[in-house]
Structure 1
Amino acid sequence: MRKLLLTAALIASLGVIGNATANTELNANTKKVEQQALSETEELAELSKKLNNPLADLWMLWTQHDVTSLEDKAGNSYISHSTKFQPVMSFDFSDDYNFILRPVFQFQSIEVPGMERENGLGDTAVLAAIGPKTPKNGWTIGAGVSAFLPTAEETYLSTNGADQFAIGPSLIAIKLGEKYTYGAVVQHFEGVGQSEAVNSKGEEEDLSLTDIQYIWRVRMSSKLQIGMAPNITIDWNKSGSDKYTVPVGLGFDYMTRFGDTPVRLAVEGYRYVMQADEFGPEWGIRFVVIPVVKNPLL
């Protein structure tokens, strides 16, 4: 009887020890999973901040689709689509500066008064800029050169119908804060060589265009931001208010992960408060997908 009681007590003790060991292993695994999740969240939060900096040391496969509603003087509406693929590549320029190269390839589907819809490749834009690796007092300021390459398949698919090579300076100034990000990317293009565009007098008209992307974002969480980054354009060949195209709007972006690839997803809506009277945009919607990829040179 005594041996039986001792055996039962031993079995019970082993069961208690086994449960304690299992609980310890379970707690350790739970903490490990929580730490991994926290690490991934922190990594995505850091990437989300860096994506606000056009001069960051990142490689991105930026893909953007814009749907724009335009209106003529008679009040007729037209819908245009533009899909842009912008691989953003960062290179070490020196110990303190990055060199950024961003070609923009675009497929256009444009509907205009008195013409059938035209579809095809548009002009290719290129931005090359140099800026600091580390912001100073929260500001990152860079400068470089921008160009249009006349790769449009049809004249009307080219920038302002010029079908012309264009080049000019670019300036980047962004304030990067923990909660707020604001600033602008300014590019100017001057046509060089023969232009297909003509003015009201029937004279050849060289491209003269300024693009200002103004940026304002508010961080709502480690992965979510609200704000906007629309593009103001100034056509210096036009007069008065017709030369300005000015959108305002609001949207959000969210940082997530598809497999091992960090991705930013964004949607923004715009209303145009200034545009050409004869024919100009009324509203637009922008969809953006930005996978962040490893630098293949490292």
Structure 2
Amino acid sequence: MDRMVIDNEAFLSSLKSQKRLRLLFSVLLGASCSTAFAENWEPMTGADTLHQFIAGATAEISLTPGVTAVGKYNVDGTAQIKAWNETFLRRWAVKGEDLVCYSSDEETNCFRFEKNLDDPGAYRSQNVKTNEWVVFRRVEGEEGSFSGKGPGEDDVGGLGTPSAAEIAAELSDPNTSLGSMNFQFDYIAYKGDIPGAGGAEAQRVLFQPSLPYKLSETSNLFLRPAVPVIFKQDVPGRTGGFNSEGVDLGDISFDASLAKTLPGGFVMLAGLAGTLPTATNSKLGLDQWLLGPEAALATVRPWGVAGVLVSHQWDVAGEDDYDTSVTGGQYFYAINMGDGWQINASPTFSYNHEAPSDDKWSFPLAIGVSRTVILASRPWKFGVQYWHYLETPDTFGPDYQVRFSLSPVVKLPW
């Protein structure tokens, strides 16, 4: 038996040696083929050649299933990228003898082009900033039309796809046509005259989908619910101290509004805001139906966005033992820092007309940072904000708040 084991080991060793030789030969052959294939790409040079290649070209890039980006580069040096139901405006020009550069309000990126000598319909572009290559093909029978598949993770974007910086700026526009699923994770610390108020806290998640209906290039209809899930909420007890409530659904709020972008980069919004008595715990809701008007004004500039939204809600049905009359709102700003980074915040404030004089105002000062990235060809926005309340109800109100946010861009159902 020992002899048979020795012979088998020798046989197996011989087989392994042969496999290693075949593997080495395959690697060398593959490297040789790859080198030969690489040599079949020829750089496209010459200002006139590149201008003729790009001017009037249309690039169709597949992003995710059912989502395509279409870039149109006009002869006059303007360009439009249509993706995720939004249009991104650009300018383009040939730089030197081998570069084509596009510029948006947020950034400038340049590309080199090569053509495949063995396959006349195949081309590829290289982003000078990232050195990443994207292969695309000329559409047969359609002069100036190209198609390809976008890179899975490319924050810089391409000639046919929007960049993370462009997406970030668009998501900050209150009249954006981009659809998104917004998740906000809040931690709130409280203070007040009630004994023990300084140790009270709350933890919740707010889900707010935004699925605008595009009416025109400058107008959108928004129907946005805000669904709060409360994991923990400390509320004053009847006999003193605080009781911790949760996990529960809170009152769902919503708004239905029409937004329009005006000449000069101004945005106006008007509509209705409301609150539904959906709380599963009576201590965490009003048990009333609220309704009232809302309006917003914002300015959108190359550096970013700034604006304010104000609403007022009255109780129109439900519990009639008390009245509700609350003016609420939100101021917001975003400063574009490049590469998808922004300094931004969007804190909410309120003025309770029915509360005692020392308990009417809740108003925070806020700062935050966010980053938009492209993951699996889908834009995602991540952010964190800190709110410090300059005004809060004396009896019991928020002291500070930390918010983490997550917002994937989604395809609209219409």
TM-score (structure 1 length as normaliser):
0.82
Q: Does 1:102 align with 2:224?
A: yes
Q: Does 1:111 align with 2:239?
A: no
Aligned mates of 1:237, 1:205 — CA distance in 2: 9
Summarize deviations over 1:196-246 as a string: whole Å, max 9, x none: 6xxxxxxx2222112211012211114111132111111111233420001
Check conservation: 1:72, 1:278, Cα contact below 8 A. Answer: yes
Aligned mates of 1:77, 1:68 — CA distance in 2: 11
- State the shift of 1:76 in Å: 3.1
Q: Does 1:90 align with 2:209?
A: no
Summarize deviations over 1:7-46 as a string: whole Å, max 9, x none: xxxxxxxxxxx97984563974672664654435843222
Check conservation: 1:241, 1:274, Cα contact below 8 A. Answer: no
Check conservation: 1:72, 1:113, Cα contact below 8 A. Answer: no
Aligned mates of 2:335, 2:269 — CA distance in 1: 22
- State the shift of 1:139 in Å: 0.8
- State the shift of 1:253 in Å: 0.8
Aligned mates of 1:186, 1:238 — CA distance in 2: 19
User: How has the CA–CA distance of structure 1 residues 172 and 214 changed in structure 2, closer, same or farther, with 3 Å as cutoff?
Assistant: same
Alignment-mate amino acid for residue 221 of structure 2: F
SS at match of 1:31: strand
Aligned partner (choices 293, 318, 340) of residue 194 of structure 1: 318
Matching of residues 1-298 of structure 1 within 5 Å: 22=38, 25=41, 28=114, 31=126, 34=132, 36=134, 37=154, 38-40=156-158, 42-73=162-193, 74=195, 76-93=198-215, 96-108=218-230, 109-114=232-237, 115-119=242-246, 120-132=248-260, 134-158=261-285, 162-195=286-319, 204-297=321-414
Aligned mates of 1:289, 1:21 — CA distance in 2: 42
Aligned mates of 1:52, 1:30 — CA distance in 2: 30
Check conservation: 2:348, 2:364, Cα contact below 8 A. Answer: yes
- State the shift of 1:104 in Å: 0.8
- State the shift of 1:186 in Å: 1.6
Structure scoring higher RCO (CA < 8 A, sep ≥ 6) equals 1
SS at match of 2:280: coil
Rg larger in 1 or in 2?
Answer: 2
User: How has the CA–CA distance of structure 1 residues 95 and 31 changed in structure 2, closer, same or farther, with 3 Å as cutoff?
Assistant: closer
Check conservation: 2:235, 2:283, Cα contact below 8 A. Answer: no
User: How has the CA–CA distance of structure 1 residues 76 and 117 changed in structure 2, closer, same or farther, with 3 Å as cutoff?
Assistant: same
Number of residue equivalences: 269
Identity of aligned residues (%): 26
**Which is further off, 25-34 or 169-178?**
25-34
- State the shift of 1:155 in Å: 1.6
Check conservation: 2:173, 2:305, Cα contact below 8 A. Answer: no
- State the shift of 1:56 in Å: 1.4
RMSD of Structure 2 on Structure 1 (CA): 2.4
TM-score (structure 2 length as normaliser):
0.60
Alignment-mate amino acid for residue 86 of structure 1: Q
Aligned mates of 1:210, 1:26 — CA distance in 2: 65
Check conservation: 1:251, 1:269, Cα contact below 8 A. Answer: yes
More helix by share: 1
Check conservation: 1:192, 1:206, Cα contact below 8 A. Answer: no
User: How has the CA–CA distance of structure 1 residues 182 and 26 changed in structure 2, closer, same or farther, with 3 Å as cutoff?
Assistant: same
User: How has the CA–CA distance of structure 1 residues 91 and 19 changed in structure 2, closer, same or farther, with 3 Å as cutoff?
Assistant: closer
Check conservation: 2:187, 2:402, Cα contact below 8 A. Answer: yes
Check conservation: 1:195, 1:207, Cα contact below 8 A. Answer: no
Query: Structure 2: which 5+ runs fail to align?
Result: 1-33, 44-113, 115-123, 135-153
Query: Structure 1: which 5+ runs fail to align?
Result: 1-17, 197-203
User: How has the CA–CA distance of structure 1 residues 34 and 189 changed in structure 2, closer, same or farther, with 3 Å as cutoff?
Assistant: same
**Which is further off, 86-95 or 174-183?**
86-95
Aligned mates of 1:118, 1:222 — CA distance in 2: 42
SS at match of 1:137: coil
Aligned mates of 1:248, 1:23 — CA distance in 2: 59
Summarize deviations over 1:162-221 as a string: whole Å, max 9, x none: 21000000112111111131111222211112326xxxxxxx222211221101221111
Aligned mates of 1:66, 1:146 — CA distance in 2: 22
